Structure 1
Amino acid sequence: MRFIGIDPSTKTGLVILDKHGEVIDTMEITAKGTDPGRMIDIIEQVDFQLDHGDQAAIEGFAYGAKGRAVDIQYGIGWGLRMRLFDGNTDYIEVAPAALKKFAGAKGNAKKDELAVHIFKRWGFEHPSDNVRDAFVLAQIARAVYLERNNRPIDLTAFQSAVVAAIINPPSKKKQGA
C-alpha cells in the first residue's frame, strides 16, 4: 500500500509514502520541448511511478487564475486525471485551500509560510514547493484511505475537517434555488 501526492504543473511535484506515512520517494518532474509533447512526457513520467493499488491525491485546479501558464497547468492536470482514471488508480482531488488547512496553515498562506507548517508538523523539508505540496497531498491520501477503512489515525481537528469534507463533500446548492 502506497500513498501518492501529485501537484500538477510544468514542474510536477510527486511524493510516494508507505503505509506508515514514511517517505519512499520525492521528485519534481519536468520535461523539455514544446506542448503538447512536453505535457505528455510529464504525464508519462508520473504514470511510470504508479503501482497497482496506489491511493493518490491530486491538487485541485486554482479556479480564477488566468494566463497561458494556467492553461498549461489545466492541460497537465486533466491529462493526469485521465491517466489515473484509465489506470484504475483511486484518487481524490484536494482543493488548494484544503491542502494548506491540512498542513495547519490558512487557506491563503504563501508558499514559504506553508513550508514552515509542513516542517513543524512532519519534519519534512524540500527545496521545491511543488514537492512540499505533493507531500501534504500524499498525507491527505493516507488519512482519507485510513478513515474510509475505519483504521485509526491521529489527526488534529482541522485535519479531520478536511478529511470529512473530502469523504462527505457538502452538497452544492442548485442555482436559483
Structure 2
Amino acid sequence: MRFIGLDPSTKTGFVALDEHGTVLKQKELTGVGSVDPLRMLTMIDEVMDFMKRDDFICIEGFGFASQQAIQLGGIGWGIRMALARRGHKWYEVAPMALKKFAGATGNKGPDGKAIKADKIEVAKQTLKRWDFESGSDNITDAFLLAKIAEGIWHYTEGATFTYPKFQEDVIYNILNPKPKAKKTKKRRGA
C-alpha cells in the first residue's frame, strides 16, 4: 500500500509514501519539451508510469484563479481520465483544505496580524510538522496530499492514529462533502 499525492500543474508534483509515512518517491514531472499537447500528453504518461494498482490517492482540486486556467484544467482532467481508465479511485482536496491541513491558515505573526496562507507559509508549516522540505511548491503540495491520503485511510479503516482537530476537520469534510447548492433561475419580469 502506498499513499499518493498528486498536484496537477504545468509542473506536476508526485509523492508516494509507504504505510509508515516514509517518502518513497518525490518528483516534479514536466513532460517532454515545451510545446503542447505533446508536453501535456507525456506528463500524464509520466504520472501513470509511477502509479501502482493499490495506490491510495489524493489529488488537488481545481483552483482557477490563474491565467493558465484552461491549460491547468486540461492537465488536471487528463490525469483524472488516465487514472479512471486504469480503475484508480481518488479523493479530491480543495486548495484551501490543503493549506488548512498543513496548518498554514489562521496563523498570526508577532504583530498579531494574520499571516497569509501562501506557498511560503505552507512550506514553513510542512517543515515544522513533518520535517519535510522541497525546493518545489508542487512537491510540497503533493507531500501534503499524500499525508491527507494517509489520514483518510486511517480514518476509514478505523486505525488508531491521532490528528489535530483542524486536520480531522479536513479529512471529515473530504469524506462528507456538502451537497452543492442548486442554482435558481431568475424569472422574467420579476
Aligned pairs for 1:158-173 (under 5 A) are: 158-173=166-181
Aligned to 2:39: 38
CA distance in 2, matches of 1:61, 1:104: 20
Cα distance in structure 2, aligned partners of 1:151 and 1:176: 42
Q: Which amino acid aligns with 1:59?
A: E
Q: Which has the larger radius of gyration?
A: 2
Aligned to 2:57: 56
Q: CA deviation at 1:174?
A: 2.1
- Whole-angstrom distance in 2 between the partners of 1:33 and 1:146: 40
Give 1:22's aligned residue: 22
User: Structure 1: any 5+ residue segments left out of the alignment?
Assistant: none
Deviation, structure 1 residue 113: 1.0
User: Which residue number corresponds to residue 100 of structure 2?
Assistant: 101
Alignment of 1:12 with 2:12, yes or no, is yes
Could you tell me which amino acid in structure 2 is paired with residue 86 of structure 1? Answer: R
Amino acid at match of 2:15: V
Residues 114 and 43 (structure 1 numbering): CA distance in 2 closer, same or farther, change over 3 Å? same
* Unpaired runs of at least 5, structure 2: 107-115, 186-190
Whether 2:174 is the aligned partner of 1:175: answer no
Alpha-carbon deviation of 1:148? 1.1
What is the aligned-residue RMSD (CA, Å)? 1.5
User: Which amino acid in the other structure matches residue 102 of structure 2?
Assistant: A
Match of 1:131 among 112, 118, 139: 139
Where do 4+ consecutive residues of structure 1 move more than 4 Å? none
**Aligned to 1:113, what secondary structure does the other structure show?**
helix
Tell me the CA shift for residue 66 of structure 1: 4.2
The superposition leaves residues 106-144 of structure 1 with CA deviations (integer Å, 9 ceiling, x where unpaired) of: 186111111110000000000000000000000001111
| 3-state DSSP of counterpart to 2:148 | helix
Deviations 1:136-172 (A, max 9, x none): 0000011111211211222110000000001111222
Segment of structure 1 superposing worse, 101-110 or 138-147: 101-110
The residue type equivalent to 1:53 in the other structure is D
